[in-house]
């Protein structure tokens, strides 16, 4: 007899009992799990919650602003939004190896998060005792028994992956829930649909979608193409049919023609997959018109890109991300 309403009330009560008069800190990523966790924690303990949201320079277009509008302005949550993009991009300069990119981003995130915790500690006069995370039931199962391909082939650094050495006690209200249940909880708590419906987004963000070394210029270029791609999926009503969709910036230039001129510019590859858990995935058989419109718009509207491809690989043997 699980209902969303009773879950929210019972969990809020449980959280209050666990937290008492202490303070909770939460790493907000803008994804579904941490967003709904923030909303639930705020309902339960109000200003005893502080959220930290880090801009690593590799977020999707508009995300940094959207998260602030939603949670600070909308929910009145104590949100510390940190623009650490220079720090992240500086450390990533010239780094081509995907695993090295992940390690740098993971390490830097922890550093920035610790700095913010220290700032909060100074304000409160004591260190927050708790760390809240949007850990789901499948994450719990996976960390116990799953040491399979994706755990070893790619080191996953999620916001949920903060190390134990930070010394917090954990608040994890969704440990028994599946994603769909968390979405429902989020809806009832008033988390905007745009966040609830959002596709999963990797912790290292656009860094693993820019093949080779990353810089701000490439990230900006990719964000423009990615935005158009997602916009076309929305417009054609296909966004919710796919598990993930994104653009990948390829490290190649190719020849094109624009009016009387020959161009020599970069290429992007569009990716859209269907999946139930990300472990296996099939490339999405989207209508040609949707692909065509996205391609036309990207080439016409994004200066610096003159070629668009569509990825027709499934997982396995390919992976969802390109790095
Ligand atoms: P792959 O590319 O391994 O991706 O097929 C499976 C799912 O995991 C996401 N992914 C990541 N998530 N940190 C994350 O938080 C990472 O380093 C990472 N790499 C891949 C990917 O977006 C897909 O949903």
Alpha carbons 158 and 301: distance in angstroms, whole number: 33
Which residue from 27, 133, 154 has its CB within 8 A of the most atoms of ligand 1, so it is best to mutate? 154
202 compared with 145, residue with greater pLDDT? 202
**pLDDT, position 110:** 95
**pLDDT, position 1:** 64
* Per-residue confidence band for 33, with pLDDT thresholds at 50, 70 and 90: very high
Asked whether 154 lines ligand 1 (CB < 6 A), one says: yes
The ligand 1 atom at the shortest distance from the C-alpha of residue 102 is 17
Q: Is the pLDDT of residue 262 over 70?
A: yes
Beta strands in 205-291 (DSSP E): 244-258, 261-274, 282-283
Residue whose CA is at the smallest distance from ligand 1 atom 22? 202
Asked whether 34 lines ligand 1 (CB < 6 A), one says: no
Average the pLDDT over 245-260 and give the result: 96
Q: For the chain, how big is the Rg over CA atoms in Å?
A: 20
**pLDDT, position 100:** 97
Asked whether 315 lines ligand 1 (CB < 6 A), one says: yes
- Tell me which residue of 248, 173, 150 sits closest to 207, measured CA to CA: 248
DSSP state for residue 74 in the 8-state scheme: I
**pLDDT, position 277:** 87
Q: What is the pLDDT of residues 73-100, one digit of tens each?
A: 999 999 999 999 999 999 999 999 999 9
Asked whether 271 lines ligand 1 (CB < 6 A), one says: no
Alpha carbons 299 and 303: distance in angstroms, whole number: 7
Q: Is the pLDDT of residue 266 over 60?
A: yes
Task: Collect all residues with Cβ–Cβ distance below 8 Å to 87 and sequence separation of at least 6.
Answer: 108, 112
Residue whose CA is at the smallest distance from ligand 1 atom 17? 156
Asked whether 244 lines ligand 1 (CB < 6 A), one says: yes
Share of the chain above pLDDT 90, in %: 89
The ligand 1 atom at the shortest distance from the C-alpha of residue 315 is 5
The ligand 1 atom at the shortest distance from the C-alpha of residue 161 is 15
The ligand 1 atom at the shortest distance from the C-alpha of residue 158 is 15
The domains located in the chain, with CATH, are 4-196 (3.40.50.620), 215-310 (3.30.300.10)
Is residue 143 marked as binding?
no
**pLDDT, position 161:** 58
**pLDDT, position 143:** 62
Phi, psi of 283 (to 5 degrees): -65, 145
Phi, psi of 179 (to 5 degrees): -50, -45
**pLDDT, position 141:** 81
Assessment of whether the complete model's pTM goes beyond 0.90? yes
Q: What is the pLDDT of residues 130-176, one digit of tens each?
A: 999 999 998 888 665 433 444 444 444 444 457 777 889 999 999 99
Cα(294) to centroid(ligand 1), Å: 24
Which residue from 274, 321, 322 has its CB within 8 A of the most atoms of ligand 1, so it is best to mutate? 321
Asked whether 158 lines ligand 1 (CB < 6 A), one says: yes
Q: What is the mean pLDDT of the chain?
A: 93
Is residue 1 marked as binding?
no
Alpha carbons 219 and 230: distance in angstroms, whole number: 16
Residue whose CA is at the smallest distance from ligand 1 atom 16? 156
């Amino acid at each position: 007899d699980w209902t969303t309403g009773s879950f929210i009330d019972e969990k809020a009560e449980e959280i209050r009992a666990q937290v008492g008069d202490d303070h909770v800190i939460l790493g907000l990523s803008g994804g579904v799990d941490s967003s709904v966790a923030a909303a639930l924690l705020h309902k339960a303990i109000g200003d005893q919650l502080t959220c930290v949201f880090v801009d690593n320079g590799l977020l999707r277009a508009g995300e940094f602003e959207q998260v602030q509008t939603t949670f600070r302005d909308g929910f009145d949550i104590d949100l510390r939004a940190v623009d650490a993009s220079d720090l992240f991009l500086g450390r990533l300069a010239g780094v081509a190896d995907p695993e090295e990119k992940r390690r740098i981003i993971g390490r830097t995130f922890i550093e920035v998060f610790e700095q913010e915790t220290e700032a909060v500690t100074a304000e409160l006069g004591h260190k927050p005792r708790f760390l809240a995370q949007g850990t789901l039931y499948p994450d719990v199962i996976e960390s116990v028994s799953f040491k399979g391909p994706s755990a070893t082939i790619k080191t996953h650094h999620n916001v949920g992956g903060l190390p134990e050495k930070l010394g917090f006690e954990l608040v994890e209200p969704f440990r028994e829930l599946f994603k769909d249940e968390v979405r429902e909880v989020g809806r009832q708590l008033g988390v905007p649909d745009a966040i609830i419906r959002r596709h999963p987004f990797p912790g290292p963000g656009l860094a693993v979608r820019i093949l080779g070394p990353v810089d701000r210029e490439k990230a900006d270029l990719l964000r423009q193409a990615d935005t158009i791609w997602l916009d076309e999926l929305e417009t054609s009503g296909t966004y919710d049919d796919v598990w993930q969709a994104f653009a990948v910036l390829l490290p190649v230039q190719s020849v094109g023609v624009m009016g009387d001129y020959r161009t020599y510019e970069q290429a992007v590859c569009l990716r859209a997959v269907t999946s139930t858990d990300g472990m296996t995935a099939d490339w999405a058989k989207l209508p040609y018109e949707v692909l065509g419109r996205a391609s036309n718009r990207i080439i016409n509207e994004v200066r610096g890109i003159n070629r668009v491809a569509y990825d027709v690989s499934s997982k396995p043997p390919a992976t969802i991300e390109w790095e």
